[in-house]
Chains A and B, each alone.
Chain A
Amino acid sequence: MLKVENINVHYGVINAIKNVSFEVNEGEIVALIGANGAGKTSIMHAISGLIKTSSGRIEFLGNDITKEPAHKVVANGLAQVPEGRRIFSQLSVQDNLEMGAYLRTDSKVQEDLDKVYKRFPRLNERKSQLAGTLSGGEQQMLAMGRALMSKPKLLLLDEPSMGLSPILVNEIFDIIKEINKEDGVTVLLVEQNANKALSIAHRAYVLETGNITVSGDATDVAKNPKVREAYLG
């Protein structure tokens, strides 16, 4: 479904992503784990078009999206929940969700809005509240709901557990599993919380300073002694 081939990302002279290749198949949850600064977010941004790759190719559903600007990528069915949520704090919860459906012209938007409210009842309670007044967990739910409003086939999640209490982390990860199973949305998950990510993922890649060093089934990756030592403690 998503094929990333030999991409490089440079910030000035710094080569942040070095010849990274991986793929995500339809229906999977794929985890990309790695330490702070390994380049996880850069990969996410390269896929969604927020930053430019210096070489390599990104293919989604058979289309080359390497050079596509971010506002066009989402139309292909690829939505990103960015690191730090980045909800629109001055807009109401409902307006945030409507922004998620910005490009949609079909008649099912209202139906999907109801679905999001059903999945995240707390957002329903706070519909007309400014999004900036929500708690961290609620903001994460809003960011996910907002991305789902674009009816994505592939959902990119960047550090969904960041800054959340363990109970909330469990709740969020249950919802990710649900979105994958019930709605058939393929998920690419970037996480520092490797334990949690590997527990729900089908496959995983380990990223170290811009290189993929380990890859395979999530259960195998979790057993890999090097990974255990570095990320799972």
Chain B
Amino acid sequence: MQFFATIINGLSTGGMYALVAIGYTMVYGIAKMINFAHGEIIMVGAYITYVVFSLLGMPAFVAIIASIIGCALLGVVTEKVAYKPLRNSGSLAVLITAIGVSYLLQNVFLLIFGSAAITFPSFLPEGQIHLGGLSISYVSALSLCLTLICTVLLLIFINKTRLGKAMRAVSEDKGAAELMGINVNNTISLTFAIGSGLGAIGGIIYGLSYSLINPYLGAMLGIKAFIAAVLGGIGDIKGAMVGGLLIGLAEAFTITFISSTFSDAVVFGILIFILLVKPAGLFGVNVREKV
């Protein structure tokens, strides 16, 4: 029984990692940069939900939508202000800027809300869902369902729609995409908006799962989700989902069967292992191009 409970725990945390990892992977795919401020955008998502629901007293769905829209806008603005001017600079410049944006957001929220943890509103029903002999908390069920739904919708969007295909075209060759009439700047903005919006959902799941939030929550969550994206093959949405779930499972099993203090070491161990053995990640395939 403990085994199954661990699996459910792992998939639930993994779902959260997956949602955040998708943001990393999409932005990397199109802008060829690791947006290290992505973790902080998730933190902002959790805080927006808290402010709208607990402080302004709005219904939960309004808070969730406000959080998604707020994060999407924040993602777009960050790209326009901080990353776009550096598009033709070296990747190191962008990386350092992203780290700067990340600290900026962290500090702004420290200034406003203080460093003490705040109780996140629990707007989900108490108790558990019973499936056969298993019981799943509402948060776990929500986390898993949302991850699956978001991944499937995104894959349909990327592979089947005109805009999604344009996104893939931009990620491969911006100049050639321009020649097709695709507005590259708008496409990049859209990518940041989608990635950050999904991050908001990740932030809300974090709040619901741990019920306490503080301005540092994005740091560790962000890095773990980044590892998940690398594990799955950065740039690949399916990979980000599978990577997220695997990292969640690895963490849960370590906590249950070894020790909770050891779980971070296992996650980072996975990163080192994957970089040594298959740097392109599980789903990352280097397609050879003919010239």
Contact = CB atoms under 8 A, between A and B. Distances in A.
A48 B179 contact: yes
A132 B290 contact: yes
B179 A134 contact: no
Interface stretch (B57-65, B68-76, B167-175, B202-210): B167-175
A214 interface: no
Contacts of B288: 132
A86 B162 contact: no
B126 interface: no
Nearest to A78: B179
B178 A103 contact: no
Contacts of B55: none
Given A71-B181, A74-B179, A135 B168 contact: no
Given A50-B175, A95-B165, A99-B169, A89 B180 contact: no
A71 B184 contact: yes
B181 A74 contact: yes
A71 B183 contact: yes
A208 interface: no
A132 B175 contact: no
A19 to B, nearest CB: 25
Contact of A71 (B168, B173, B178): B178
A102 B175 CA distance: 15
A91 interface: yes
Contacts, number: 80
Nearest to A146: B180
A163 interface: yes
A70 B179 contact: yes
A86 B182 CA distance: 15
Interface residues of A, number: 36
Contacts of B180: 71, 74, 99-100, 102-103, 146, 150
A75 interface: yes
Interface string A93-116: 001001110110000000000000
Interface of B: 162, 165-166, 168-169, 172-173, 175-184, 287-291
29 contacts: A50-B178, A50-B179, A70-B175, A70-B179, A71-B178, A71-B181, A71-B182, A71-B184, A74-B181, A80-B179, A82-B179, A86-B175, A88-B173, A88-B176, A88-B177, A89-B172, A89-B289, A90-B172, A98-B162, A99-B177, A99-B180, A102-B182, A103-B181, A132-B288, A134-B290, A135-B290, A146-B180, A150-B181, A163-B291
Given A72-B181, A74-B180, A102-B181, 16 more contacts: A49-B178, A71-B178, A71-B184, A82-B176, A88-B168, A89-B289, A90-B168, A90-B287, A91-B165, A98-B165, A99-B180, A99-B182, A130-B287, A132-B289, A133-B290, A136-B291
Interface of A: 48-50, 69-72, 74-75, 79-80, 82, 84, 86-91, 95, 98-100, 102-103, 130, 132-136, 139, 146-147, 150, 163
